[in-house]
Amino acid sequence: MSEVAFLQLLSLGVVGVGIVILLFIRALFVRVVGFVVIVLAAFTLISLGVPQVPSLPPAVEQFDLAKIKTPTDLAAIGQKIFFSKGQCSLCHSIGPRAAARCPDLKGVGAKLTREFLFESLTDPQAYISLDYRHEGLPKQYPAHMPAIHRNPIALTKGEILTVIAFLQHMSGEPVGVKVQEVMDASEAVEVASVSPAGS
């Protein structure tokens, strides 16, 4: 039995006990206790009935460059970043989702070129589709998509390349990002972040 089901049974039991007290016990104080118990247990039941949204894993995602051999490895890392540090899944879905407020990214790796994807991620304002939800005449609107290489998400160039690899891979496209590029980009970042402290 799941933890939630167990707690629900327990609360139901407590409600039952409260009702028995109200029905059979005359002493006023005990009746008040019974009533309070019913109310509390009923609230617990309602709160347990609310579906829980799993929280995203912590933002730190280290990847081991030595383990990357093929473009598919890149896509696998990009997938992790998509759902964790990149926070893409907070806004985007892959495939239609009822609550979606942002473009569905299913097939986006086939729809957009690699260069266009890179621009969409790092300079979202550069090319904006007309407001797809707008009623009446469509109009230009400011980008809601955050620039992914800046704070607070701040993906490195290497990380962005792996996310692009993931978007292409999950769209059934050949991955257009080369392993060596990610290595070079990551090294460049490492050098850049090490040298000021080192010198």
> Which residues of the chain form contacts with ligand HEC (CB under 6 A)?
82, 86-88, 90-92, 102-103, 105, 108, 117, 120-121, 124, 128-129, 143-146, 148, 163
Shortest distance in whole angstroms from residue 117 CB to ligand HEC: 5
Helix (H) and strand (E) counts in the chain = 8, 0
Give dist(CA 187, CA 198) in Å, integer. Answer: 15
Shortest distance in whole angstroms from residue 60 CB to ligand HEC: 15
Q: Which residue's CB atom is positioned nearest to ligand HEC?
A: 88
Give the nearer residue to ligand HEC in terms of CB position, either 36 or 143.
143
Beta strand residue intervals within 55-158, DSSP E: none
Shortest distance in whole angstroms from residue 153 CB to ligand HEC: 6
Give the nearer residue to ligand HEC in terms of CB position, either 11 or 87.
87
Give the nearer residue to ligand HEC in terms of CB position, either 86 or 158.
86
Shortest distance in whole angstroms from residue 59 CB to ligand HEC: 12
Shortest distance in whole angstroms from residue 143 CB to ligand HEC: 3
Give the nearer residue to ligand HEC in terms of CB position, either 11 or 156.
156
Q: Give CA separation, 131 vs 88, 122, 140, in Å.
A: 20, 20, 6
What 115-120 contacts at long range (C-beta under 8 Å, 24+ apart), as own/partner pairs, is 117/164, 117/167, 117/168, 118/160, 118/164, 120/145
Shortest distance in whole angstroms from residue 98 CB to ligand HEC: 17
Q: Which helix (H) or strand (E) holds 161?
A: helix 157-170
Give the nearer residue to ligand HEC in terms of CB position, either 115 or 187.
115
Q: Left (φ > 0), alpha (ψ -120 to 50) or beta: where does 146 sit? A: beta
Give the nearer residue to ligand HEC in terms of CB position, either 58 or 198.
58
Closest of 80, 89, 104, 95 to residue 166, by C-alpha: 80
